[in-house]
Chain A
Amino acid sequence: GAGVSQTPSNKVTEKGKYVELRCDPISGHTALYWYRQSLGQGPEFLIYFQGTGAADDSGLPNDRFFAVRPEGSVSTLKIQRTERGDSAVYLCASSWGTGATGELFFGEGSRLTVL
């Protein structure tokens, strides 16, 4: 597709369950970012990849959160033992590079609700 694609668009789960959120970036974009957006707030940085490697994961809140990008394209954000406080919209963005143009293209997000 032409834009960043995220699946699922909505996910409802129970406290303690495991969830995976998928991001398919714009073709050719080498940098991929995950952000989390709580209601009424701006997006908060979680992690970014340059190619296959996580270049900076300083925004991950704790070790229940993990992300991979094994082939340098699609990325999966994994959350173990979900808690109610994990409920938010998880946004993925991609760009040509981390400094070349600066423009991040965002997907529409995956809304996670933990009951």
Chain B
Amino acid sequence: GENVEQHPSTLSVQEGDSAVIKCTYSDSASNYFPWYKQELGKGPQLIIDIRSNVGEKKDQRIAVTLNKTAKHFSLHITETQPEDSAVYFCAASFTGGGNKLTFGTGTQLKVEL
């Protein structure tokens, strides 16, 4: 089955700096790569996703890149703000197989003033 590894497990940045979280996946059949943000006591919320036919996608301060050959994908947050502080999860799935997401272990992002 799919295995997703995520690094780093914790990340502390100063407000206004950029944050980068990296993930690798194992199953070459995976074609959908979402990123979720989870705040304390809440369920995960989708912030951005990318499909395997695209190498990069951007939405305001958030961007995701995908390298299918290397099986790597990354989340980039620019101009970080205190409200960006949360746990971020990457995930991978094959949409033709029921879209069961396999999640990484999460990155605790702290944006300091």
The answer to whether B49 touches A102, judged by C-beta atoms less than 8 angstroms apart, is yes
Query: Complex: how many Å from CA A72 to CA B43?
Result: 22
The answer to whether B32 touches A102, judged by C-beta atoms less than 8 angstroms apart, is yes
Is B102 in contact with chain A by the CB < 8 A criterion?
A: yes
Interface residues of B in 58-89 (CB under 8 A from A): 89
The answer to whether A98 touches B44, judged by C-beta atoms less than 8 angstroms apart, is no
Q: Nearest CB to that of B9 among chain A residues?
A: A40
Closest-CB distance, A37 to chain B (whole angstroms):
9
Task: Count contacts between A and B, CB distance < 8 Å.
Answer: 64
Across-interface contacts of B100 in A (CB, < 8 A): 33, 45, 48, 56, 59
Q: Nearest CB to that of A6 among chain B residues?
A: B43
Query: Complex: how many Å from CA A75 to CA B95?
Result: 22
Across-interface contacts of A59 in B (CB, < 8 A): 100
The answer to whether A98 touches B43, judged by C-beta atoms less than 8 angstroms apart, is no
Per-residue contact bits, chain A 42-72, to B (CB 8 Å; 1 contact, 0 not): 1111001010000110010000000000000
The answer to whether B43 touches A109, judged by C-beta atoms less than 8 angstroms apart, is yes
Closest-CB distance, B40 to chain A (whole angstroms):
11
Is A4 in contact with chain B by the CB < 8 A criterion?
A: yes
Across-interface contacts of B99 in A (CB, < 8 A): 31, 95, 98-99, 102, 104
Question: Given the known A-B contacts A42-B105, A102-B34, A103-B34, are A108 and B96 also in contact in the complex, defined by CB atoms under 8 Å?
Answer: no
Query: Complex: how many Å from CA A22 to CA B67?
Result: 39
Is A25 in contact with chain B by the CB < 8 A criterion?
A: no
Query: Complex: how many Å from CA A40 to CA B107?
Result: 10
Q: Nearest CB to that of B96 among chain A residues?
A: A99
Report which B residues bind A (CB closer than 8 A): 4, 6, 32, 34, 36, 41-46, 49, 51, 89, 91, 93, 95-96, 98-106
Counting from the closest, the 7 A-B pairs by CB-CB distance are A42-B103, A106-B43, A99-B95, A98-B99, A108-B43, A102-B32, A45-B100
